[in-house]
Amino acid sequence: MPCIQPQPKPRILIIGSLNIDIVTTTPRIPHPGETITATSRTLSPGGKGANQAVACGRAAFVSPTKQDVSVSIVGAVGGKDGYFASLIEPILRTSGVETEGVSVVEGGDEAIPTGTSLILVDAESAENRILFVPGANYVGMRDVEWILHRSLAGNESKGAPDVVVLQGEILHATTIALLEFFNAETVKTHVVFNPAPMPPQGIPPTTLRGLAVLVMNETECLLLAQSLGLVPEVTGISGFQFDTIASHLLNLGTKNIIVTLGGDGAYFASETGRGHVPAVTVDRVVDTTAAGDTFTGYVAVALARVLTSAGPECEGGCVRDSLGEFDLRAAVEGASVAAAKCVQVAGSMGSIPFGYEL
């Protein structure tokens, strides 16, 4: 298989949100109009982009001192609340994530806040409900040319990223433009896309052509299927056939599809096969907040690793122009183990395991 660009180790770039998580744990979810006493409240770094960056960075540690994949992030934070310097950047850096691509948005007379997620955790079931306040994630991520400059031209010494990870917590128009750019046949970067939250208008089918990996949960899969006209509007998700949408997405040109099913494991599909990986059994689920982001990050690292291989024709490693050797089942199995470890620890970023801990 031909090598197209010599490189010491693969490079992953996450383009996405950086937030502060305000997590409140409650004995149960209150009914409309009801006030109950919560058991705890914490303030911690989060955001799907930052969480997935931490997951990629930590997954890449094969030992406490060795990281075999380079990881960086492009995003935006508020300049007047101090959360990036005090809470977000330190954990990104200690997780092996380069943060030079993060822009601090001052906002002039109007203070632009760092994005905020308000998370309500049910103590008994460990399930969560999340409200997202975009802040700088929208204001600072409008200019696609600026984002591409930070992603490409700002890293001449390293070259274009081998894998780009995208989610849905920045502007929809920006996400679509980035999908169109990085999924183009002329660009050798491979994209891992986690459409969370799924935008009400859905995802244009043309932007999914050439997508390396699409990672969704069951609800996001249903919403995408509805936006593509594959299933009717329904009140629930029982009886939904994953093979139906997988076949359609493969025909559109998406290479690999994963649907995470919580305690029921994960469904996967590609041109070479389909299957189901059962969930890893854990003694006690404490907090599911970052489980999906952990899963996505570990899948991205598994993909990046197969895009590079040492060989006599390309000493030190080389980037492959094909996904032919990507073992989707193995990637899902590894990501499931990481997510299972994550849900046994409270919090978001802090609960994400390092690769050498698995």
Give the alpha-carbon dihedral of 289, 292, 297, 302, to 10 degrees.
140
Q: What is the mean pLDDT of each run of 10 residues along the chain (358 residues)?
A: 60 96 90 93 92 98 96 95 94 97 82 89 85 92 94 62 95 96 92 94 93 95 87 59 91 97 94 94 85 97 82 43 83 97 86 95
Q: Please tell me the predicted confidence (pLDDT) of residue 37.
A: 95
CA–CA dist 56, 299 (Å, integer): 8
Residue 188 belongs to a domain: yes
pTM of the model: 0.88
Q: Which of 57, 46, 42 minimizes the C-alpha distance to 9? A: 57
Backbone angles phi, psi at 206, to 5 degrees: -65, -25
Alpha helix (H) ranges present in 264-346? 291-306, 328-342
Structure-block tokens of residue 157: 């010494």
CA–CA dist 79, 89 (Å, integer): 13
CA–CA dist 327, 330 (Å, integer): 5
Q: Please tell me the predicted confidence (pLDDT) of residue 226.
A: 87
Residue 60 belongs to a domain: yes
CA–CA dist 308, 5 (Å, integer): 10
Residue 112 belongs to a domain: no
Alpha helix (H) ranges present in 12-83? 48-59, 83
Q: What is the largest CA-CA distance in the chain?
A: 68
CA dihedral over 57, 60, 63, 68, signed as positive or negative: negative
Residue 222 belongs to a domain: yes
Residue 107 belongs to a domain: no
Residue 342 belongs to a domain: yes
Q: Please tell me the predicted confidence (pLDDT) of residue 337.
A: 97
The catalytic site residues sit at 293
Q: Which of 168, 109, 110 minimizes the C-alpha distance to 138? A: 168
Q: What confidence tens digit (pLDDT) does each residue in 125-162 have?
A: 878 888 888 999 999 999 999 999 989 854 445 567 99
- Cα distances (Å, whole numbers) of residue 128 to 41, 121, 197, 239, 246: 14, 4, 14, 24, 27
Q: Please tell me the predicted confidence (pLDDT) of residue 312.
A: 38
Q: Which residues are annotated as a binding site?
A: 19-21, 47-51, 169, 217, 260-265, 287, 289, 292-293, 342, 345, 347, 351
CA–CA dist 270, 231 (Å, integer): 21
Q: Which residues are annotated as a binding site for ATP?
A: 217, 260-265, 292-293
Range of the domain at 142: 3-17+47-101+138-353
Q: What are the DSSP calls for 246-299, one per residue? A: HHHHHHHT--EEEEE-GGG-EEEEETTEEEEEPPPP-S-----TTHHHHHHHHH
What is the number of domains present in the chain?
1
Residue 120 belongs to a domain: no
Q: Please tell me the predicted confidence (pLDDT) of residue 320.
A: 46
Residue 150 belongs to a domain: yes
User: Where is 119: in which H helix or E strand?
Assistant: strand 115-122
Find the CATH number of the domain harbouring 315: 3.40.1190.20
Written as one letter, the residue type at 1 is: M
